């Protein structure tokens, strides 16, 4: 609906890739609906994935012994996080929906995207014990993981060699997004695009565009472990 804000966190090196096409379709389709869409193109930005001392501007809270979690929490409270983090947090703060677009690497997200999670979702900004899970600080936001796999759909079933695709989503959707209070829409998985016909790839792109048309009507998944492991 008009006025909704969407942030796409995108991790692929090649704009002409299948992931690049999925990202472009999301930008076009959501913009057409009157949403304002921002893209964090992590590789193009040369986003720093490492959590280091450089993330804190000025003096440390405890210069004797470096504790990244404590230091970024203190820095967040006094407005002393590095610029790149402040920028990303601003985008997250404004967004109604976060779409993560990436190729699955080793049953997980690419390092550059994991680094985004590690550095951006700071204590005090995204969570603050006991304010986590349903009371996480980013509640009232939605997230959607859209990704491609190398393996086929059959491989990612309960009885398949890789196990149910939902198992892999537990750390990403539950351990990160739900922990921060974000409600999660059903993931969008494109299985093995590099091993299917051009025709099939076109169908996958059309299916994504179709889904985006009615995305705002969707209900979030049930965020219990049952969804992942039933």
Q: Looking at residues 16-20, what average pLDDT do you find?
A: 97
The chain-wide mean pLDDT, for the chain, equals: 97
Output the six-digit token pair for 21. Answer: 């096409």
Pairing of strands 188-190, 5-10: unpaired
Q: Which residues contact 103 (CB under 8 A, 6 or more apart)?
A: 11, 12, 17, 19, 110, 147, 148, 149, 150
Reply yes or no on whether the pLDDT at 30 is more than 90. yes
CA distance 147 to 155: 16
Q: Which CATH number is 164's domain given?
A: 3.40.50.360
Q: How many CB atoms lie within 10 A of CB 201?
A: 15
Model pLDDT for residues 73-105, shown as the tens digit of each residue: 999 999 999 999 999 999 999 999 999 999 999
Structure confidence at residue 113 (pLDDT): 98
Judged against a pLDDT cut of 90, whether residue 1 lies above it is answered with no
Alpha-carbon distance of 114 to 136, in angstroms, equals 19
- Residue 196: HSE in the Cβ half-sphere, 13 Å Cα cutoff: 18
- Identify whether the C-beta of residue 141 lies closer than 8 Å to the C-beta of residue 183: yes
Rg (CA), the chain: 18
Query: H or E segment at 7?
Result: strand 5-10
Q: How confident is the model at residue 223 (pLDDT cuts 50, 70, 90)?
A: confident
Task: Report d(CA 162, CA 65) in Å as an integer.
Answer: 41
Angle between helices 18-32 and 198-213 (to 10 degrees): 30
> Distance (Å, rounded) from C-alpha 8 to C-alpha 1?
17
DSSP 15: T
| pLDDT tens track for 131-141 | 999 999 999 99
Count of domains observed in the chain: 1
pLDDT at 211 over 80: yes
Domain around 105: 5-229
- Of 72, 69, 93, give the one whose Cα is nearest residue 5: 93
Mention every residue, 6+ apart, whose C-beta is less than 8 A from residue 162. Answer: 107, 151, 155, 156
Please write the tens of the pLDDT for every residue from 59-70: 999 999 999 999
Average pLDDT value for residue range 32-52: 98
């Amino acid at each position: 609906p008009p006025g909704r804000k969407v942030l796409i966190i995108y991790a692929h090196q090649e704009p002409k890739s299948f992931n690049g096409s999925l990202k472009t379709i999301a930008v076009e389709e959501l913009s057409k609906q009157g949403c304002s869409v921002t893209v964090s193109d992590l590789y193009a930005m040369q986003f720093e994935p490492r959590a280091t001392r450089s993330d804190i501007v000025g003096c440390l809270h405890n210069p004797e012994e470096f504790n990244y979690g404590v230091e970024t929490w203190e820095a967040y409270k006094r407005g002393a996080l590095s610029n790149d983090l402040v920028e990303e947090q601003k985008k997250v703060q404004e967004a109604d929906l976060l779409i993560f677009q990436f190729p699955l690497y080793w049953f997980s997200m690419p390092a550059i995207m994991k680094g985004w999670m590690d550095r951006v979702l700071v204590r005090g900004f995204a969570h603050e014990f006991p304010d986590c899970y349903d009371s996480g600080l980013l509640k009232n936001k939605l997230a959607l993981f859209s990704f491609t796999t190398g393996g086929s759909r059959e491989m990612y079933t309960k009885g398949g060699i890789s196990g149910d695709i939902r198992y892999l989503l537990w750390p990403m959707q539950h351990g990160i997004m739900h922990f921060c209070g974000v409600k999660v829409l059903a993931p969008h998985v494109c299985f093995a695009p590099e091993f299917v016909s051009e025709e099939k790839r076109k169908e996958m792109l059309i299916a994504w565009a179709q889904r985006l048309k009615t995305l705002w009507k969707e209900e979030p998944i049930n965020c219990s472990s049952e969804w992942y492991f039933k």
